[in-house]
Amino acid sequence: MTPFLKHGVRASAVLFASVLATACNDANDPGLEYAPEMYESIPYDPLRQVDANTINPMGINERTPVNGTVPRGKLNYYDHIGKDSVGIAERTLRNPLPYTRENLEEGKVLYTRICQHCHGEQGDGQGLVGQKFKGVPNYATGAYATMNDGHIYHVIQWGRNRMMPHGSQVNPEERWKIAMYVRVLQKGKGPDALSELVNDQLEPSQKTNPENTSPYGEAQAGKASETPAQGDEARNGTAN
């Protein structure tokens, strides 16, 4: 081997070694991939992103669902009453759950977990958030003291004024239970009034103003959620 060729081989070996050392500095770098088509899907996979998608918007494989899309098993989270139609909700929706102590206690737990930071333990709007931002209503005063279950349910689902909607966070059965506990706080006695609404014998309509709760037409009975532990037995109200 000539000296020139010998030095050339040595230089090539040093250069190759330096390239390998540089490529291995990043532990996340897979290096040169041989025949990546064998393990990287050529068709677009919505749950996997390797390279930028040149066809779809924003370069991602997963597409944005069209407006009005409802996830499988979540149809019962929504009803046909528009977000601005709280008056229809008052007259149409009817609480399918009885005012048992168990339901009211569960409503209290849900209220404490989801609502109390704004509406306060007593329902007087003096939660930590309510004190800071003001304007949170007192359930025991004015028109708020006569809101029925359907009204409260609808506001939980769609929100109202500065209150954001909670329909995606609270399933239908939980909404009804929270509404029941809000009825407790409407008495202005805080949690202590819970026992006054417990009556296993009376239907929910007998615990509220019949003029406001008697439904007319269909009230979105719907199909119960197929998702386990998400209120499978709940309904969005039923017609008589």
Range of the domain at 47: 3-59
Q: Under a CB-based contact definition with an 8 Å cutoff, are residues 170 and 114 in contact?
A: yes
105: in domain = yes
The confidence score (pLDDT) of residue 38 equals 73
233 is written with which tokens? 């037995």
Both 54 and 94 in one domain: the answer is: no
Report yes or no on 132 lying in a domain: yes
- Distance separating alpha carbons of residues 28 and 23, to the nearest angstrom: 10
* pLDDT at residue 217, as a whole number: 36
In this structure, are 96 and 208 located in the same domain? yes
What's the pLDDT score for residue 58?
Answer: 84
State the 10-residue block means of pLDDT for the chain, 240 residues long. Answer: 65 64 65 74 79 85 82 76 89 89 92 94 92 89 91 92 88 93 91 79 49 40 44 44
- Let me know: does 210 contact 202? Beta carbons within 8 Å: no
Give ∠ CA 56-62-68 in degrees, rounded to 5. Answer: 100
| 124 within domain boundaries | yes
> Is 106 domain-assigned?
yes
Does the predicted TM-score (pTM) go above 0.85?
no
User: Is the domain of 45 the same as that of 125?
Assistant: no
Which CATH number belongs to the domain containing residue 100 in this structure? 1.10.760.10
